[in-house]
């Protein structure tokens, strides 16, 4: 069936509303018990006034105009008008705002987030922290509060241009991409049973490839280098009670810095009314602000800056901080007798590989203790570099336990993480201490002390008071040769 033009449909709807208001006003006049005769009640000026008031009540912009002679019929009419005042605005939103004027009922984030596996919401993907394949996160929310949408389905397509393999003619290509469903499994689409107002939606699209020089070059097995690749997201759902489909669409250019952010998106306050601009929603476009609490060799911020690939400024990028509920221990080790280890420790003359367990610092839970260290702001890329460097450690969240000693001028972090030893590294340390074969490398201890000294008496004094569980040895550290 062909649709009426927008102008005609608008005029028809206005006329229908006016006729409905006039009919209800007339019914009210007929059923009212009053001294005035009908001829006076239906006088043009009086009837026009009552019709206008009834129209305002129907579109929920005014109170119901109760009659002077209140009776049961007026109560019934009042109830009907009340129900219609709830339905008509929703009908107007769905029919005119969406269908006639083609207003997208969704607000889209201006950029996509290029996330690492450990930044995802799904446990299986976070567990695959050794992978550096990027997952694209796409975010939006529903802005029309009176519109209820069921079975909202999202699909993603890759659009690009490429020469024909036959004659070289430039042709447009469109390929549907896999997304992650609600359980984190690959699927052709993602469906939400109900589209809530005041809650953002996140669609995860695995690229199956890492970034190349900070850019997207491959998408699910396709090389899009120089092919003007774009992602298009298509939404479709059913408007409850209106027997009409709701749809939305958004395009994102791949390979352009203004269309992408590296790292997870900032969180928002779920349930807040987005129309009122609450504090959480003001950061809908922002990336998540990460910080890492360091307590060992990484407190040397000069060396840490080299690892992160950027300069670090005191008070802006880092401040001394305290981690409550933990104590610092020498409970991580690299086992020098393990031929599978990535590094090997040699005697100063390089003639031997002593059978020792080389100890490193760790943190362990202790409700009565606290660890003095440094809180450092990092990007997602920077944190990913540290994760890959610290192979004997895993990252865990300490946001609620970490308190900076002074204010970070660049703003407080959203999430704070730190490192703790992996079970195998902790077992090697415990075995070495128990058998007397554990030791502390002199150069590592010196780097820790040097770094602690950069951050004031509180930090260095706390570390100096902690006992050493093993002797100090001079050892050279080298990468273990790869067996051919």
Instruction: Please tell me the pTM assigned to this model.
Output: 0.75
pLDDT of residue 273: 57
Sequential pLDDT tens for the chain (484 residues):
334 454 565 666 677 777 777 777 777 666 665 555 655 555 666 667 777 777 676 666 666 666 655 566 666 666 676 666 656 665 555 555 555 445 568 889 999 999 999 998 876 555 556 788 999 999 998 877 777 889 999 999 999 988 877 887 888 889 999 999 998 899 999 999 988 777 889 999 999 999 888 889 999 999 988 888 899 999 999 888 766 788 889 999 986 666 789 999 998 877 655 554 444 577 888 999 999 999 999 999 999 999 999 999 999 999 999 999 999 999 999 999 998 888 999 999 999 999 999 999 999 999 999 999 999 999 999 999 999 899 899 999 999 999 999 999 989 999 999 999 999 999 999 999 999 999 999 999 999 999 999 999 999 999 999 999 999 999 999 988 765 5
CA angle, residues 417, 419, 420, in degrees to nearest 5: 130
pLDDT of residue 3: 41
CA-wise closest residue to 92 among 149, 37, 14, 196: 14
Quick one: tokens of 365?
């839970």
Question: Cα–Cα distance between 133 and 115 in angstroms, integer?
Answer: 9
pLDDT of residue 260: 85
The CATH architecture one would assign to domain 106-283 is Sandwich (2.60)
pLDDT of residue 239: 83
Name 273's Cβ contacts closer than 8 Å, sequence gap at least 6: 145, 198
pLDDT of residue 282: 77
Question: Cα–Cα distance between 187 and 170 in angstroms, integer?
Answer: 30
pLDDT of residue 1: 32
For the packed helices 72-92 and 44-58, what is the interaxial angle rounded to 10 degrees?
Answer: 60
Provide the CATH number for the domain formed by 290-479 in this structure: 3.10.490.10
Residues of the chain with CATH 3.10.490.10: 290-479
Residues of the chain with CATH 2.60.40.1400: 106-283
């Amino acid at each position: 069936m062909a649709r009426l033009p927008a102008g005609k449909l608008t005029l028809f709807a206005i006329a229908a509303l006016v006729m409905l208001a006039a009919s209800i006003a007339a019914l009210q006049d007929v059923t009212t018990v009053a001294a005035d005769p009908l001829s006076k009640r239906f006088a043009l000026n009086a009837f026009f006034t009552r019709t206008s008031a009834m129209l305002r009540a129907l579109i929920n912009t005014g109170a119901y105009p109760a009659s002077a002679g209140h009776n049961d019929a007026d109560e019934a009419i009042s109830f009907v008008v009340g129900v219609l005042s709830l339905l008509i605005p929703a009908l107007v939103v769905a029919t005119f705002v969406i269908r006639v004027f083609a207003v997208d009922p969704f607000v889209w984030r201006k950029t996509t987030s290029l996330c690492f596996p450990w930044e995802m919401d799904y446990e299986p993907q976070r567990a695959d922290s050794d992978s550096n394949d990027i997952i694209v996160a796409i975010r939006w929310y529903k802005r029309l509060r009176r519109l209820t949408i069921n079975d909202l389905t999202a699909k993603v397509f890759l659009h690009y241009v490429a020469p024909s393999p036959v004659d070289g003619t430039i042709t447009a290509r469109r390929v549907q991409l896999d997304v992650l469903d609600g359980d984190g499994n690959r699927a052709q689409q993602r469906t939400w049973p109900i589209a809530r107002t005041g809650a953002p939606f996140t669609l995860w699209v695995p690229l199956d490839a890492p970034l190349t020089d900070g850019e997207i070059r491959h998408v699910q097995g396709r090389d899009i280098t120089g092919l003007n690749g774009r992602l298009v997201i298509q939404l479709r759902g059913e408007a409850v009670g209106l027997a009409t489909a709701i749809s939305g669409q958004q395009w994102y250019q791949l390979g352009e810095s203004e269309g992408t952010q590296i790292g997870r998106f900032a969180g928002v306050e779920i349930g807040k009314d987005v129309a009122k601009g609450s504090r959480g929603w003001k950061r809908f476009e922002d990336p998540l602000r990460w910080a890492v609490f360091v307590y060992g060799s990484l407190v040397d911020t000069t060396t840490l800056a080299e690892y992160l690939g950027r300069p670090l400024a005191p008070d802006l990028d880092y401040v001394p901080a305290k981690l409550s509920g933990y104590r610092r221990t020498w409970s991580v080790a690299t086992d020098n007798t393990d031929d599978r280890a990535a590094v090997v420790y040699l005697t100063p003359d390089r003639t031997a590989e002593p059978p020792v367990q080389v100890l490193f610092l760790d943190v362990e839970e202790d409700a009565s203790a606290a660890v003095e260290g440094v809180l450092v702001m990092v990007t997602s890329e920077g944190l990913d570099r540290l994760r890959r460097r610290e192979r004997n450690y895993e990252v865990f969240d300490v946001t609620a336990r970490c308190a900076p000693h002074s204010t970070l001028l660049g703003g407080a972090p959203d999430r704070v993480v730190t490192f703790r030893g992996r079970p195998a590294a902790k077992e090697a340390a415990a075995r070495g201490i128990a058998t007397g074969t554990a030791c502390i490398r002199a150069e590592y201890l010196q780097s820790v002390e040097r770094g602690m000294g950069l951050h004031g008496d509180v930090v260095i004094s706390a570390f100096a008071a902690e006992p050493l569980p093993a002797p100090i040895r001079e050892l050279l550290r080298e990468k273990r040769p790869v067996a051919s």
